[in-house]
Amino acid sequence: MAYDGELVKMENGRWARFQRCQVHRPGVADAGETMLLIAVELEERFQRLLDEAADSLAHYRYQGVPVQVRLDPDARGISLHPESSFVPVVH
């Protein structure tokens, strides 16, 4: 299940971000309350940044560290964040 803002690599090798969108249908009273979650392909500069970060992401996940990739709020770059439910095991 995807969440709003999640970054994913699609089958065609391009990156997209899931985004919630309101559905508007003329003549339907509750159409503005209907929401869809769609994948929106990112622009080329983010494609390159995410391709470069993919190796780091794969390395973390290979080690069992669940990590999410996020776009910075100012949309100037990306960052990797450990998932909040992750608790490292120390031996």
The whole-number pLDDT of residue 14 equals 93
The whole-number pLDDT of residue 30 equals 66
DSSP assignment letter at 91: -
91: pLDDT confidence band, cut at 50, 70 and 90? Answer: very low
3-state DSSP call for residue 68?
A: strand
Amino acid at 7: L
Q: Is the pLDDT of residue 86 over 50?
A: no
28: pLDDT confidence band, cut at 50, 70 and 90? Answer: confident
Question: Mind listing the pLDDT tens digit for each residue in 36-82?
Answer: 888 899 889 889 888 888 888 788 888 888 887 777 766 677 777 77
Q: How far is CA 62 from the centre of its chain?
A: 19
